């Protein structure tokens, strides 16, 4: 897909990976709907796009609320004439975690991280069908990979669900709707950067790597998946400490290189 002249909607785009993807798509000529619960951060993302000569608008959206998601897709179409690219990026893992957190807390986080992706995809598919096709890109996490222990089990489980959900929708390629997924590792988003500065590199290194993936790198992977019409139902792994690769569509689990990714 050629991004120039297309319409994109990016959830969780007030900061971090979502902001980087929104800025990157806008730099390629897409009109971008920026959605988030963070109004100040969302306005900043829109301001950066506007300053660079792009077109954008901010929509306050809680992806765990069906009405918000449905309205956001409709308002994107109303503002820009349709929808071609949907990036379901909104997510997070605020403390406390399961099982210490009360059910209301971890149920909401599960809704944000998994059901929000499913709601966005549901309403996004309807919009893409009206457009005759398009691309959905879901942002998961390597927290959902494998069988290791994880400090936030609800987050890991939700992100595993995003991975499998995305791959399961590969058959939509018959309708010219491509669904792909990115699984980043440790990414240097704003909150993580502030935490590292607060504790210092020595303490940080006890729990996390020093060299982190940059949001802009994930944005480049997103652009590659949007532009490559041959890729559907794929999951791209982006570890902080090794080569990046793609899980192909077959019954086995193996990683194959994808041109343009970090070697």
Name the catalytic one among 155, 163, 186, 244. 155
97 is an active site residue: no
Element containing residue 155 per DSSP (H, E)? helix 153-168
Q: Which residues are catalytic?
A: 155
């Amino acid at each position: 897909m050629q991004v120039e002249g297309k319409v994109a909607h990016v959830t969780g785009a007030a900061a971090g990976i979502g902001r980087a993807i929104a800025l990157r798509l806008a730099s390629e000529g897409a009109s971008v709907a920026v959605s988030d619960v963070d109004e100040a951060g969302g306005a900043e993302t829109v301001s950066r796009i506007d300053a660079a000569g792009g077109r954008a608008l901010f929509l306050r959206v809680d992806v765990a609320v069906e009405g918000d998601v449905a309205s956001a897709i409709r308002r994107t179409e109303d503002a820009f004439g349709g929808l071609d690219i949907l990036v379901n990026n909104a997510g997070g893992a605020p403390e406390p975690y399961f099982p210490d957190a009360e059910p209301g807390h971890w149920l909401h986080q599960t809704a944000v991280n998994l059901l929000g992706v499913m709601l966005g995809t549901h309403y996004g598919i309807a919009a893409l069908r009206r457009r005759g096709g398009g691309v959905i890109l879901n942002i998961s996490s390597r927290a959902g990979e494998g069988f290791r222990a994880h400090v936030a089990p609800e987050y890991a489980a939700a992100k595993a669900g995003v991975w499998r959900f995305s791959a399961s929708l590969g058959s939509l390629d018959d309708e010219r709707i491509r669904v792909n997924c990115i699984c980043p590792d440790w990414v240097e988003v704003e909150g993580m950067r502030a935490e590292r500065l607060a504790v210092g590199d020595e303490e940080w290194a006890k729990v996390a790597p020093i060299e982190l993936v940059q949001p802009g790198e994930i944005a480049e992977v997103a652009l590659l998946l949007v532009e490559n019409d041959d890729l559907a139902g794929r999951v791209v792994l982006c570890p902080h400490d090794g080569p990046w690769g793609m899980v192909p569509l077959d019954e086995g689990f193996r990683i194959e290189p994808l041109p343009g990714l970090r070697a």
